[in-house]
Structure 1
Amino acid sequence: MKLRRPIVSELARKRDHRANRLLAALEPEDLAYLAPHLEIVALPKGTILYQAGETLRYAYFPHDTIVSLVADMSNGSSAEMAVFGCESMVGLISAFVTRQSIGRYVVQFPGVASRICLDRMHEAINVRPSIRQLILRFTEALLSRILQNVACNAIHSVEARCCRWILSTHDRLNQDTLPLTHEFLAEMLGVQRSTVSIITRALQAEGLIQQGRGFIAVTDRSGLERASCECYGKVRRNFERLLPHTYTKT
């Protein structure tokens, strides 16, 4: 994958930091404390924020983009370890001690994000108790999601996990037509492309999705939720418990 870096543009600068739901959850005085140190950057699809082992310099708060933390194996295969959208922040949790990336952070859907130097973010956590509490709540929610996904990957079918991934993407992008390809889903789920093709054809036959070249459209969200495993609902409810309003209401 070609290495691309974040872009600071005039269009991006006009965006509101509160498009990220974590930043929106801050008290006005806490957001005002962070604001002078936040900048909005455009993140084209394929942007590599960090490679495995690279030193982390910034934390990112996605607006309308999605970033995956991917594990690359020695045989050339890869699988997603974690995913971050507008309910999340990227880079801080794994940077408290060593500041070395534990995997490849790659932008899966183009958009923008607010970013802040890690030194400034650590400083804010130390001096602003409300910011520290928000980050601790996010850390607990993120850890529970990762652990739930470990159990999900071990127990549940690829079909159910595929439905969970589509639903989570639907939540984060808040639109019915999702720029998902079979190749991308296969990489994220850690399966063969042919497996994803079989699953999506079945979902389309059931009227749950409509697929075309480079996209999947959600046509029956309720049905997709029924076809998904219980993990989707558990993760979402836990985020909403710890961080109210981090997901849109559908």
Structure 2
Amino acid sequence: MTGPLATLKNRLLSALPTEDRGLLAPHLTPVDLEKGRLLYDPGDLVDQVYFPDNCVISMMTLMENGAAIESAIIGREGALGLMAAVAPRQSLCRAIVQAPGPALRIAAGPLHEVWTRSPALRDLIDRHGEALFGHAIQSVACNALHAVEARFSRWLLSCHDRIDSNTVNLTQEFLADMLGVQRTTVTAVAGSMQTKGLIRYRRGVVDILDRAGLEAMTCECYGAVRRGYERLLPASFE
């Protein structure tokens, strides 16, 4: 396979038969998604679908008072806006690039045309939707029931699964939104995890030093979400 699929890392696209990927290839455009780039806000028409390669997109639920919390992330195991392949969709959340990097983009119209011709793509979209829904509802429970350190560990592990780096760029503001806590709490939690040798935390940057330690600290939700993806999309985290 040549063109934008030549060095493909997105595992959802990789799971398609070669013929089906060939139908998509002429419509896929490589893009570099910079950190903080806003892809959608609630109510926006989903006219572009993104297949991350080595980046992470956060799906944020917004409140009327401006508060926000992360409900799920999407990386190379999936795609943002994939249900627009089935029918026109409006975004239900804010989608913002958290870990920058390359992705493939396709307009919703051509993707829908391939969807009508490809049973394999229809099946993948159905399974991806179920996995993402499971991810989101597990996040609801996690945010309500689990300690901040466990939730932070879960997020770092989930991000680490989706990028080729031990370093994650994170602002205090985003960490506070992601965890649903005050910035002072973020400082305290990051400092505690650094003292334990799990991470190195600098202004806007987290280096993962001890993945096994993070796995020991995280809650059950990390494993539950990962198992959901592995069951429905078996190549998600190979």
Q: Structure 1 length as normaliser, TM-score?
A: 0.88
Partner secondary structure for residue 30 of structure 2: strand
Of the three residues 9, 19, 23, the one matched with 1:33 is: 23
Cα pair 2:143 2:151 within 8 Å, conserved:
yes
Cα pair 1:56 1:95 within 8 Å, conserved:
no
Q: Stretches of 4+ moved more than 3 A in 1?
A: 13-17, 94-98
Give, as a single letter, the amino acid of the residue that structure 1 aligns with 2:145: I
Partner secondary structure for residue 173 of structure 1: coil
Cα distance in structure 1, aligned partners of 2:195 and 2:153: 14
What's 1:106 paired with? 96
Q: Does 1:43 align with 2:43?
A: no
Cα pair 1:17 1:114 within 8 Å, conserved:
no
Partner secondary structure for residue 238 of structure 1: helix
Pairwise CA distance, 1:22: 0.7
What's 1:68 paired with? 58
Q: Does 1:233 align with 2:228?
A: no
Cα pair 2:52 2:74 within 8 Å, conserved:
yes
Give, as a single letter, the amino acid of the residue that structure 2 aligns with 1:72: L
Partner secondary structure for residue 108 of structure 1: strand
Of the three residues 189, 194, 210, the one matched with 1:204 is: 194
Pairwise CA distance, 1:181: 2.9
1:134-213 alignment runs, 5 A limit = 134-213=124-203
- 1:191-238 deviations in Å (ceiling 9; x for gaps): 111111111111111111111222111111111111000110111122
Identity %: 47
What's 1:56 paired with? 46
Cα distance in structure 2, aligned partners of 1:166 and 1:244: 22
Pairwise CA distance, 1:17: 6.3
Q: Does 1:20 align with 2:10?
A: yes
Q: Cα gap change, 1:146/1:94 in structure 2, threshold over 3 Å: closer, same or farther? A: farther
Partner secondary structure for residue 138 of structure 1: helix
Unpaired runs of at least 5, structure 1: 1-12
Q: Which of the pair has the greater relative contact order for Cα pairs under 8 Å at 6+ separation?
A: 2
Cα distance in structure 2, aligned partners of 1:14 and 1:97: 25
Partner secondary structure for residue 18 of structure 1: coil
Cα distance in structure 2, aligned partners of 1:247 and 1:113: 17
Q: Cα gap change, 1:96/1:211 in structure 2, threshold over 3 Å: closer, same or farther? A: same
* Count, aligned residues: 236
Cα pair 1:177 1:215 within 8 Å, conserved:
yes
Q: Does 1:132 align with 2:122?
A: yes
